[in-house]
A and B are shown apart, each in its own frame.
Chain A
Amino acid sequence: QQQVKQSPQSLIVQKGGISIINCAYENTAFDYFPWYQQFPGKGPALLIAIRPDVSEKKEGRFTISFNKSAKQFSLHIMDSQPGDSATYFCAASMNYGGATNKLIFGTGTLLAVQP
C-alpha cells in the first residue's frame, strides 16, 4: 500500500511533442504528490506538486493531472525540449504539513527528447 507505481520506464519524444508520465497509488492517506526531475550526477529537484483538493495544476510547460477516484496522477510536459531530457520521479507523502515529510518515490521514467 506504500508503493507508487510509475510508467513508462522510458520515453522517447520528438522536440515540440508532449511527454506524458503516469503514476498510480493505493494509499488514500497520501496528501501530497510532487514530481521531481533528476539529471545525471545531480540530486532530484522539485518540478511541480499537487494536493488532492485540485484536479490540475499548471506551471509553465508542466502540468499535473490528478484523478482522486482512480488514485492516479500524471505529468504532462508540453512542447518538450532536448533540455528536458532527464529522469522524472513521481512521489507521494502523507501527513504533509506534519512533522515528517517522508516521500515515497516511483521507480522513475527516463525521458529522451530528440531534436
Chain B
Amino acid sequence: ETGVTQSPTHLIKTRGQQVTLRCSSQSGHNTVSWYQQALGQGPQFIFQYYREEENGRGNFPPRFSGLQFPNYSSELNVNALELDDSALYLCASSFISGSGTGELFFGEGSRLTVL
C-alpha cells in the first residue's frame, strides 16, 4: 500500500452535475498530482499542487479545478460533467525538496461514471 487514500472509490453522476473527489497524501509528502485514466488508456496529467498552489497543468479545461490543504490533502472538482469525464481519477503524492521531485505514489483511484 502506498499510503495515498482516495474517496469515494466509486460514484455515479449525471451530465451537468458537479463532483468533488478527495485525496489524502502519503505522510511526509508535500505535493499532490491528479491524473485521469480513461478505460483502456494510460493516465493523463490533470494538474499538480505544491504549497497549496497549482504548479503545472495538463490539457484540461477550467471546469477541472483543485485544492490542496495545509495538511497536504487535496480535492479535485469537476463542474458541468460530460459523458467523456467518465474515468478513473488517480491521485499521486510526492515530496519536493531542494534536490527536486521524488517518486510518485498513486492511490487506488475514484471511478466516476457520468450518465
Name A residues whose Cβ lies closer than 8 Å to a Cβ of B: 6, 41-46, 49, 89, 91, 96-108
Contacts and interface: CB of A to CB of B under 8 A. Distances in A.
Interface residues of B, number: 30
B55 A100 contact: yes
Contacts of B16: none
Contact of A103 (B45, B105, B109): B45
B41 A46 contact: no
Given A43-B2, A43-B90, A44-B90, A101 B41 contact: no
Contact of A100 (B40, B92, B101): B101
Contacts of B58: 102
Given A45-B106, A46-B104, 13 more contacts: A43-B2, A43-B92, A44-B43, A44-B90, A49-B103, A89-B43, A97-B100, A98-B101, A101-B33, A101-B48, A102-B45, A104-B45, A105-B43
A102 B56 CA distance: 8
